[in-house]
Amino acid sequence: MPSAFPARRTAIITGVGSERGIGRRTAWVLAQAGWNLGLIARHADQAERLAAEISAAHAVRAVGAGADLANRAEASRAIDTIEASAPQIVALVNCAGVSSPTPYLEVEPEEWRHVLTANLDAVHWVTQRVARTLTDNGVGRIVSLSSVSSHRGGGTYSKTPYSASKAAVEALMRGIARELGRRGVTANAIAPGPVDTDLMGGTLTPERKEGMAADSVLDAIATPQDVAATIRHLVSEEAALITGQTVHINGGLHMT
């Protein structure tokens, strides 16, 4: 039987720096659901300000930390900081990442390495550190953002390096799900289609939204709230038997 959640629990969320991003929206959604939070951004002041805002608005403990998560030592220090002053860590939500709209034949080594490092290495290092705590406690949820691009080979905004990095994230989650399942940890990915965030090359105009929605069956693109609501379920106690999966949120743009 899966272990029960503790009465007081913490979710760590990476990539909370963007004002209109999925990570930031997820922080508010999970706080409203009663989660204490560990918030990580590249710049500590962004995470700390958000933590203060959430703590003032909700009766939860929120701790902010800054880190370049592609650096193993920095990732570990950020988790150490959060773990020292927050209730038991039960969930990790990997939202941090970068886009890459460069055509494949124009991709230089520096961009290739930057995208793979930011979108895969960073997820690996923070996940490995958190997973040690989760397995020690016998209960945990890990959710990482992928993208419909990993299944369609791009076709939205970012292209091949981004698609490859996100496909690797899905494989990483499946491997973790298999290895750590009997130690109480689930691991899943979410693959949104286009989402109205600044990661799509800036704020989307109504015309760009309409164009991106044209291939979907619902004539709509996702909002950060749509993704955050799915994350809220996947990290919940009720999602104990969902693991090794990729959940698609794209209005029927891509069907499996």
Residue 157 designated active-site: no
Of 28, 125, 157, 162, catalytic: 162
Do 163 and 102 contact (CB within 8 A), yes or no? no
Do 166 and 143 contact (CB within 8 A), yes or no? no
Residue from 31, 68, 40, 51 nearest 235 by CA? 31
Helices 122-137 and 160-180 cross at an angle (nearest 10°) of 20
Do 192 and 222 contact (CB within 8 A), yes or no? yes
Look at phi and psi of residue 222 and say left if phi exceeds 0, alpha if psi is from -120 to 50, else beta. beta
Give the span between the Cα atoms of 238 and 109, in whole angstroms. 43
Residues with catalytic annotation? 162
